[in-house]
A and B are shown apart, each in its own frame.
Chain A
Amino acid sequence: MIDLIAALQPLVVGAVLIWSARVKLVSRHAAAAANRSALVRLVGQRRALPAYRLLGGVEVTVGALLLLPPARPAEALAATGLAVTFLAYLAYARRAAPTSSCGCLSARATPVSGRSLARAGLLVAAGALALPAADGWPTTLAERPVAGGAVLLAELAAVVALSPELDHVWLLPLRRLRARLTHPLRGGSGVPLLATVQQLQLSEAYRQVAPLLRSDVREHWDEGDWRFVGHAARYHGRPVTAVFAVPLAGSEPETVRVAVVDDATGHTLLSLAGTPPASGPRLSVVPA
């Protein structure tokens, strides 16, 4: 079994390396991906893209050597060395530039996470396993197609599961499906305070007294069809409370009423009723 796994590792590592090189060499977003990566920190802004491309070149060379026969231990050694370099680079990136993007398998901005490190670790292990391989992978796969296929599938699944770049392909749709089946956010009811405040701020009453207001919403309560919202205000030097009455149902800013009440005496200093909506013909503007 170990022989089988060892013989198939060049295929796995080679495929991952070529896939990874694709982003660095042929993607239109390679420059953006290089600029987001920790290479900027490591080699400077100017040299980040050339370094990124060079890395892609090394990856595609090692990947091709691994995939193409004959299988030599030196290839596996080079791949292991490359994977160890990735692991060290990612660990550095995570410490030195935590907001940088991995730039590993996709041009998508993906922060370096524990999963990226685990994937690099997996590559190190795969490269090391390939060192003692005696046969090339095409021979082994032809001899034991079922077992070989299962091993490849399992490793592919592991690489995909450890790649945050690919979450949008399988993980997010799964989570979306779960949300559709279980409706975890259902249950909200009632009129939120913000809906009242939005209505209030569109009202004529608010426009009239806004310059007097000093505080944000201090208190609010519901009574019948109305929600009352109190702000601290100042009116001619006196501390007062501006209390708005806002209809709970619907959105009718024109019906909002306000009273300004003296905090010390409780006297109403001012109150404005909502103005009914303008009647009569309206000018309708039709875009040309």
Chain B
Amino acid sequence: MNQTMDRRRLLATAALGGVVGATGLGSLAPEAAFAAEPATIEPGAPDPNFAEGRISRISGSMLLVTGSDTVLHSIRITDGTSIWKLHPTTFDRVVVGDGLYARGVRLPDGTLAADSVWVNIVNLHGHIAAVGRNVLHLDHQGRRIVAHVVPDRSAAVYNGTPAVSDLSLLRVGRHVQVLGAWHPDTNEIDIATVYAAA
């Protein structure tokens, strides 16, 4: 805990501290950064640096994932991997049975060294069929989805304006788009962001 606090203090001081600006380390121009990573993906071919599926095993920092096309992926979680599960979280919150999208770098042994992992992420459109205490019942292609509002996490974007925590402008019968985290093997999700007209 203390280590985290010290690290955060260091980072905060760096961000708010003096301007280092142009360093002796080289250019910040986008061309310089992109030049290191030429696009290697053939049009129409699957992106080698992406994987999706359900986690079938976790061993150490490796995730064994079965893709929806039954392809098996080995995904390595590194110190620099960001893990999203409704919000930015840590590796210990990832469990077997979770679904995921991962983006990273494919290593020569076929492992994907993940830069970012989004666990159980869903993105769906629907109509609000009913509203309960901190819950939306959505009609999504003829199926009922129960979308839970998570206090202090769920956000709403109305008419494309900046996100707010107030979801009370959502109306029964209206169309919404919801980004959220699925509860595996159920029709329930936790809402990360709901996009709506108001």
B83 to chain A, nearest CB (A): 8
User: When chains A and B are docked, how far (Å) is the Cα of A272 from the Cα of B143?
Assistant: 49
Say whether A195 contacts B16, CB under 8 Å.
Answer: no
Shortest Cβ distance from B114 into A: residue: A215
Say whether B164 contacts A257, CB under 8 Å.
Answer: no
Chain A contact patch, size range: 35 or more
Say whether A185 contacts B170, CB under 8 Å.
Answer: yes
Say whether B20 contacts A269, CB under 8 Å.
Answer: yes
Q: Which of A192, A211, A269 contacts B25 (CB 8 A)?
A: A269
Q: Is the interface of B mostly helix, strand, loop or mixed?
A: mixed
Q: Chain A residues near B46: list those with CB within 8 A.
A: none
User: When chains A and B are docked, how far (Å) is the Cα of A226 from the Cα of B11?
Assistant: 13
Say whether B88 contacts A270, CB under 8 Å.
Answer: no
Say whether A185 contacts B19, CB under 8 Å.
Answer: no
Say whether A111 contacts B10, CB under 8 Å.
Answer: no
Shortest Cβ distance from A218 into B: residue: B82
Shortest Cβ distance from A213 into B: residue: B115
Does A140 interact with chain B (Cβ within 8 Å)? no
Sampled A-B contacts (20; CB under 8 Å): A99-B141, A111-B141, A172-B172, A176-B172, A186-B168, A188-B165, A212-B33, A214-B115, A220-B88, A223-B12, A232-B82, A235-B25, A243-B14, A251-B162, A269-B25, A270-B25, A271-B14, A271-B19, A271-B21, A273-B19
Residues of A bordering B, CB below 8 Å: 98-99, 111, 113, 168, 172, 175-176, 179, 182-195, 198-199, 208-212, 214-221, 223, 226, 228, 230-232, 235-236, 239, 241, 243-245, 251, 257-259, 261, 263, 266, 268-273
List of 4 A-B pairs having minimum Cβ-Cβ separation, nearest first: A111-B142, A211-B33, A192-B155, A232-B80
Residues of B bordering A, CB below 8 Å: 8, 10-12, 14-21, 23, 25-26, 28, 30, 32-34, 79-84, 87-88, 115-116, 118, 129-135, 141-143, 149, 151-157, 162-168, 170-173, 192-193
